[in-house]
Amino acid sequence: MFNKFSTKSLIITFAALLIIVAAFLIKDSLQGERSFPSSIISLDTSKVTAINLYPKSLNHREVRIFKDGNEWKVQLPNDNNTAKVPLSKVQQLLSQILSIKPVSVAAESASKWKDFQVDTAGTRVKVFEGSDDVLDLTIGKFAYRQPQSMSTYIRVNDDKNVYLTNGFLDMTFNHDADYFRDNTVINDDYNNWYKLTFTYPADSSFQLIRKNNSWLINGKQTDSSAAVNYLRSISNISQYFYIDNPSQQQLQKAKYTLSIQSNALGLINVFAYGDTSSIIINSSQNRDSYFDGKKENFWQRIFVGKGHFFTSKRKK
């Protein structure tokens, strides 16, 4: 009888302890949920008219990206000029901002801001709807988290808390104005192409023409590997080295021209102005941008000789 009573008492005691432990776990869980919100950023992206960046890599000099009519532009630093920004780059910025979610609270006091570089040392991001400042975000230092993931410390608006969020945010926001410009030279699927005309000085011009599944020059079949490798290499080619305010005298006549006839986009022209000491590249797909063709021998990647197509450049 004593054993039965003891067993019954133990079961009741154990059950009571389980209830108490469960209650504490639920309480801690709810407190944890209340310790920081699941989302700290809310934006209506359709109303955004400007994004101002103050990157630490530029000593916090302003990079202003703003909407001008139906286009997005970036203010250039050295003069009053602006340059077009592709919509995709603006969407990437806004998407990254909206994806910021806190995973923990790193600090709850302004005295800790400096430790996490969310004071004046961090990269600042301000978002506007007209004249209204709807977001003021400071991006601080990054941290490695296991397993092999990176996180960033941030602070938002007037919130004194420092949050840890997933991702390496510097990859998106810590850039100069040129990074956000349209750097397109050629952007098309080379499978749409059926004729390329290379217009060069003297008698070095030629045409590369597709016939069935082969590429021909003057009726002679080219090395298929060399031809396809070249076409693929220029089908989505871009350049980050810009030339602003080029000499109009230098732009009077192109020295080299590549004309691509595409079933999808019609005629695509790429021009090279100048000489071997100074070459400016411009494209009909991005008429407002001029690029330095000498940087990394960029012009030579586009303007090749006919011999390029008869010997494979990829031999092992």
Contact between 209 and 309 under an 8 Å Cβ cutoff? The reply is no
Number of domains in the chain: 2
51 and 158 together in one domain: yes
Q: What is the pLDDT of residue 30?
A: 43
In a domain, 252, yes or no: yes
9 located within any domain: no
pLDDT at 88: 96
- Span between the terminal Cα atoms of the chain, in Å: 89
The yes-or-no verdict on residue 283 having pLDDT over 90 is yes
**Do 156 and 277 share a structural domain?**
no
Q: Is the residue at 200 inside a domain? A: yes
Adjacent-strand bridge partners of 215 = 210
Q: Is residue 113 part of a domain?
A: yes
Q: Does 295 share its domain with 189?
A: yes
User: What's the mean pLDDT in 53-74?
Assistant: 96
**Domain end call among 180, 196, 213:** 180
Quick one: average pLDDT of 251-259? 95
Lowest mean pLDDT among 53-67, 238-252, 296-310: 238-252
C-alpha 282/C-alpha 239 separation (Å) is: 11
Distance CA 113, CA 102 (A): 16
Is residue 30 one of the residues assigned to a domain? no
Domain co-membership, 173 together with 203: no
Note whether residue 36 is domain-resident: no
Residue 136 shares a structural domain with residue 161: yes
Least confident of 13-22, 54-63, 147-156, 295-304: 13-22
Statement to judge: residues 66 and 174 lie in one domain: yes
Could you tell me if residue 22 is inside a domain?
no
Q: What is the pLDDT of residues 94-123, one digit of tens each?
A: 999 999 999 999 999 999 999 999 999 999
Task: Look at residue 211 and tell me if it is in a domain.
Answer: yes
The per-residue pLDDT for range 198-226, each reduced to its tens digit, is 999 999 999 999 999 899 999 999 999 99
The boundaries of the domain holding residue 258 are 184-309
* pLDDT value of position 154: 96
What average pLDDT does range 3-9 have in this prediction?
A: 56
- Let me know whether 163 and 253 are in one domain: no
Among 150, 180, 210, where does a domain finish?
180
Q: What is the reported pTM?
A: 0.80
Instruction: Tell me the DSSP string of the chain.
Output: -HHHHHHHHHHHHHHHHHHHHHHHHHHHHHHHHHHS-S------GGG--EEEEE-GGGTT--EEEEEETTEEEEE-SSSS-EEEE-HHHHHHHHHHHHT--EEEEEESSGGGTGGGT-STTSEEEEEEETTEEEEEEEEEEEEEETTTEEEEEEEETT---EEEEES-THHHHS--GGGGS--EEEES-GGGEEEEEEE-STT--EEEEEETTEEEETTEEP-HHHHHHHHHHHHEEE---B--S--TTTTSS-SEEEEEEETTTEEEEEEEEEETTEEEEEETTEEEEEEESSGGGHHHHHS--GGGGTS-S---
Residues 107 and 62 placed together within one structural domain of the fold: yes
CATH number at residue 196: 2.60.40
Question: Residues 259, 170: one domain?
Answer: no
Looking at the structure, do residues 176 and 189 belong to the same domain, yes or no?
Answer: no
Decide which of 147, 180, 213 is a domain's last residue: 180
Same domain, 155 and 210: no
Structure confidence at residue 275 (pLDDT): 75
**Statement to judge: residues 150 and 211 lie in one domain:** no
